Amino acid sequence: MSNSKQQRPCEYENYPISPEIIYYEGEPHYLICFGDNLQYQVVSVQSLFDASVELHKIITPNKKTAVSGIHLFGLQLECIDRNCKSRLRELKPNEESSKTTQIKRTKGLAKKEQIHFEDSIKDFYNPKDRVVLKALNFTVENKEYHVSFGKDDDVKKKQKLHSMTYIQDVENIPRDAYRHLAAIESILPREYAISQTRQEINTCMEKLIPINFIDLNSAIIQEDPSEEPDMIDPTIIEQVVNATGKGAYRSIKKILEYIVPLYVNEEKLDPEIPVIHLRISGDRRNVGRKVKHVMITVALLDDSMNLFKSDYHYTIVLFLGTENYSTLKVATNALIQELQELSNTGMVINDIFWRKSDWVISKSMSVLSENPTAYPELVLQEIKNEGLFNDITQNIIIKEIKNLKIQFEFWKIHGTDNWNYTSLMGDDQFCVLRNFNLTKLFDPECAALIKSLWDGFAELYDLLGGKKTDSQYFHLKAKVWYELFLKKTVVDPKTNTILEQELYRSSDVTPYIHVLVSHV
């Protein structure tokens, strides 16, 4: 006891008469009883607070236990209890509260709403109905809150991310544009999650179907230097220069290992009859004229419903440049080897052996997708060569094609003297091929000759699509059409007049035409 306390004598009249204060030798001792029956006691000679500290040490023997706030003992007065219950506690505004407090309030409100929702279900739905509260949305001072109930379904969440990644790629939605959309609509997956999903898919596909690179520098044939370039954007030109002489190839075997089980599950392939019909062709996409490149794809003819959909054509060869025999030979070298192996020995996919006699490999290199527009382009080129390409000719062509209910127009490429025009796709190609009035552009004899060539190809197209077409008959018709395509000019030696006008030269024969005539 300090000197100051010794100098202050104890005066009994200063303390109330209470069983909680006991006097020993003239000094007060403060007593706190605790326990279920108040059988335990804590005594302090200093103060009641000191006694409470000693009690705290007893009931919390763990020194690491943290206790905060004010602890009152023995103040169980009814007036205090009534005052505490009647006094409304004022909450801080949400914007002044901490993040932790905001989260606690949101969870508390959501929990109460969930209980209210579950209690109200019986008033609106049959007990057999499975009614589940999925989410709660509300705003506080224009700040949106979204609360999800139940455990996250990782499988569905992953499927949604895959779907969003697919849509973003197919519809060419830029990352920044999607990020702005996600900021407006909170329920959309975050852009970083989609980006991560895309990386995971790419990593997985690189392992399943790796991309191999091809060196085409030795096989590149330079284009006509007098031809004016279509590209004027320096960025595009730099990318093209960097990619020149490079190509990419994906193993057709790896692709089949990946897609065949899917086709079997969809019952488009029958494991009991292990026959796969392959089509090697172009991808049926309009790749444009700005950057010339060649793409070779593989598709399953067994999936006839999706044969003309680009999503079901799988890329196996891609390189920058134009089509010619030298580059195609180098670019398709690995593809040819794999096709020979498939034809000779077959392959095993999921313990199913696809025998060599069951392989039917179509060698039609995009005949149906590319050639219908090749002939109108040759006609336009001939008009240019003859110096007949002017405003009058353009108006005639536009008018005739619009009469066929097809939108078509010419436009001059900015900064050049070259002209571009609308690419015809799908059924529009064949509509022009069959119905364009060539007499509006050429003399009757020349128009009839070109029309016979177009009609001949249209007949080949119909024969190639027919299931009952005889291969020998098709080959014969293709030979006749080929001879007409390369028809030579016949001149009367006596009068030196042209008896029969030629159509096209041997240099106009594309690899597609060669394959159509010689290999289909």
Q: What is the 3-state secondary structure (H, E, C) of 390-409?
A: CHHHHHHHHHHHHHCCCCCC
Residues 378 and 479 occupy one common structural domain: yes
Tell me the two tokens of residue 489: 């000019």
pLDDT of residue 92: 84
Dihedral sign computed on CA atoms, order 440, 444, 447, 451: positive
- Calpha distance 281→367 (Å, rounded): 8
Round to whole Å and give the CA distance between 217 and 371: 28
**Final residue of a domain: which of 26, 47, 82?**
82
- Radius of gyration of the chain measured on its C-alpha atoms: 43
- 201 C-beta neighbours (distance < 10 Å), count: 15
Quick check: is 89 in a domain?
no
Number of H helices, E strands in the chain: 17, 17
In a domain, 216, yes or no: yes
Three-state SS for 163-177 is HHHHHHHHCCCCHHH
φ and ψ of 339, to 5 deg: -65, -35
Does 88 reside within a domain?
Answer: no
What is the spatial distance between Cα 104 and Cα 107, in angstroms, rounded to a whole number? 5
> Cα dihedral angle (466, 472, 478, 484), rounded to 10 degrees?
-130
Could you count the other beta carbons within 10 Å of the beta carbon of residue 75? Answer: 7
197 vs 335: CA distance, rounded Å: 31
Query: How much is the pLDDT for 112?
Result: 92
H or E stretch covering 41: strand 40-44
Pairing of strands 211-215, 246-250: antiparallel
Interhelix angle 444-465/367-385, rounded to 10 degrees, is: 170
Token pair of 378, please?
């040759």
Instruction: Say how many Å lie between the first and final Cα of the chain, rounded.
Output: 115
Q: How far is CA 205 from CA 209, 351, 355, in A?
A: 6, 22, 27
Give the type of residue at 154.
Answer: D
Q: Which of residues 345, 362, 379 is at a domain's end?
A: 362
Whether residue 321 lies inside any domain: the answer is: yes
Query: Does the residue 169 lie in any domain?
Result: yes
Rounded CA separation 430/424 (Å): 9
In this structure, the answer to whether residues 138 and 235 fall within a common structural domain is no
Tell me the β-bridge partners of 314. Answer: 298
- Tell me: do 241 and 136 sit in the same domain: no
* Dihedral angle of Cα 363, 367, 368, 371, to the nearest 10 degrees: 180
Output the pTM of the full model: 0.52
DSSP 224: P
**Distance in angstroms (rounded) separating the CA atoms of residues 477 and 92:** 88
CA–CA gap between residue 516 and residue 367 (Å, rounded)? 7
Q: What is the token pair recorded at 505?
A: 């030269």
Give the phi and the psi of residue 276 in degrees, each rounded to 5.
-125, 125
Q: Is 487 left (phi over 0), alpha (psi -120 to 50) or beta?
A: beta
- 420 and 506 in a single domain? The answer is yes
Q: Which two tokens stand for residue 120?
A: 């109200």
**285 and 389 assigned to the same domain:** no
87 within a domain of the structure (yes/no): no
Calpha distance 283→214 (Å, rounded): 19
Cα three-residue angle 39-41-46, rounded to 5 degrees: 165
Based on the fold, state whether residues 298 and 384 are members of the same structural domain.
Answer: no
In the block, tokens 């230097």 appear at 225
Q: Which domain holds residue 179?
A: 154-203
Report the pLDDT value the prediction gives residue 104, as an integer from 0 to 100: 92
In a domain, 317, yes or no: yes
From 133, 148, 163, give the residue that closes a domain: 148
Q: Looking at the structure, do residues 315 and 392 belong to the same domain, yes or no? A: no
Q: Does residue 233 sit in the same domain as residue 310?
A: yes
User: Residue 30 forms beta bridges with which residues?
Assistant: 21, 44
Do 256 and 342 lie in a common domain? yes
pLDDT string in tens for the chain (520-residue length): 333 333 344 455 555 555 556 666 667 777 878 777 878 888 888 877 777 777 777 777 766 665 555 555 554 445 556 666 666 777 888 888 888 999 999 999 999 999 999 999 989 999 888 898 888 888 888 888 888 888 877 888 888 899 999 988 888 888 888 888 888 887 888 899 999 999 999 999 889 999 888 887 755 444 444 444 444 555 555 555 555 677 889 999 999 999 989 998 988 888 888 878 888 876 444 444 455 678 888 888 888 888 878 788 898 988 877 767 777 888 888 888 888 888 888 888 888 876 644 444 443 333 333 444 455 555 555 555 555 556 667 778 888 888 888 887 777 777 777 777 777 776 777 787 778 887 877 778 777 888 888 888 888 878 877 778 888 888 888 888 888 877 777 776 777 776 676 666 666 666 666 666 666 5
Q: Look at the alpha carbons of 224, 225, 231, 234 in this order and tell me if their dihedral is positive or negative.
A: positive
- Is 124 a member of any domain? yes
| Total domains present in the chain | 5
On whether both 377 and 451 belong to a single domain, the answer is yes
Neighbours of 251 (CB within 10 A): 16
Three-state secondary-structure class, residue 269: coil
* 411 and 471 together in one domain: yes
Assess whether 133 and 247 both reside in one domain. no
